[in-house]
Amino acid sequence: MARSLAAAMAVIIVAVAAFWSATEGFRVFTTEGARRLDVARSPRPLPAVVLEDQDGRRVGPEWLRGRVVLVEFVYTRCPTLCSTLGEVFGRLSQALPGVALLSISFDMEHDGRAELKDYALRHGADGDRWRVVRPTSGGDLRELLDTAGVVVIPDSWGGYQHNAAVHLVDDRGRLVRVLDFEPLSALIDEVTPWLAS
C-alpha cells in the first residue's frame, strides 16, 4: 500500500513538473499564449523587407523607424476575423492619432493592388498613416510570418485559418507585444504607454 501511494505521488509530481514547464510556470496554456510571452520577453526586429501598398508605393523598413506601428496580418477575402480586425484598426486610427497602422496581406496569390485598395476603402485606411500592403516576394512573406509567429493554413473553402492579433512594433522597428484586439479599450490602454516613450 505504501509503495503504491509513493508511486502515485511520484507520478503526480512528475506530471505537475512537466505541466509547470510546458506552461511557463503556469503562465500560459496555449501555443498562442506561449507566442505572446516569447515576444514580450524577447522583442525582435521585423525583417527588412519591401512591401507594396494599396497605391503601388514601396513601403520599406524606414517607414517603421521612429514611430509606433500596429500591425495586423490579413487576407482581403476573409469574411470573419480579418474584417473584424479591419474594423478595429478603423477605430484605432481615430482613437490613437499618434500610431501608424499596417495591414499586411499574406494572400499573395489573390491580393493584388486592387484588392488592397478595396480593403483600404472598406475600412478607412488613408494610405498615409494606415497602409494596406503585401510583400513583394514569397521569401519576404515567410520571413514576416515567422518573425511574428503567425500561422497561416489553407482551408477547404479557398480561404485560410490563421491566428489573429494586433502586433505592436516599437519606434526601433522591433516587435515587442502581441495583443488581443478586443476589447478595444484594453487594447488602447496597452498601446498608449508606448506612444509616450
**Cα 187 to chain centroid, rounded:** 13
Q: Rounded to whole angstroms, how far apart are CA atoms 113 and 57?
A: 10
Q: Residue 112: is its pLDDT beyond 70?
A: yes
* CA quadruple 135, 140, 142, 148: dihedral sign: negative
At residue 132 the predicted structure's pLDDT band, cuts being 50, 70 and 90, is very high
Q: Rounded to whole angstroms, how far apart are CA atoms 81 and 87?
A: 10
- Residue 181 annotated as part of some ligand binding site: no
Task: Identify whether 183 is preceded by a cis peptide bond (ω within 30 of 0).
Answer: yes
Q: Give the domain ranges of the chain.
A: 2-37, 43-196
Condensed to tens digits (0 to 9), the pLDDT of residues 35-51 reads: 999 999 999 999 999 99
Condensed to tens digits (0 to 9), the pLDDT of residues 65-75 reads: 899 999 999 99
Q: Rounded to whole angstroms, how far apart are CA atoms 136 and 49?
A: 8
pLDDT for position 6? 62
Q: How many residues does the chain have?
A: 197
The answer to whether residues 151 and 71 touch, using CB atoms and an 8 Å cutoff, is: no
User: What is the domain class of 43-196 according to CATH?
Assistant: alpha beta
At residue 118 the predicted structure's pLDDT band, cuts being 50, 70 and 90, is very high
Q: Which three cell numbers stand for residue 98?
A: 499618434
Specify the higher pLDDT residue, 197 or 156: 156
pLDDT for position 63? 86
- Residue 128 annotated as part of some ligand binding site: no
Q: Residue 21: is its pLDDT beyond 60?
A: no
**pTM (whole model) above 0.85:** no
Specify the higher pLDDT residue, 61 or 25: 61
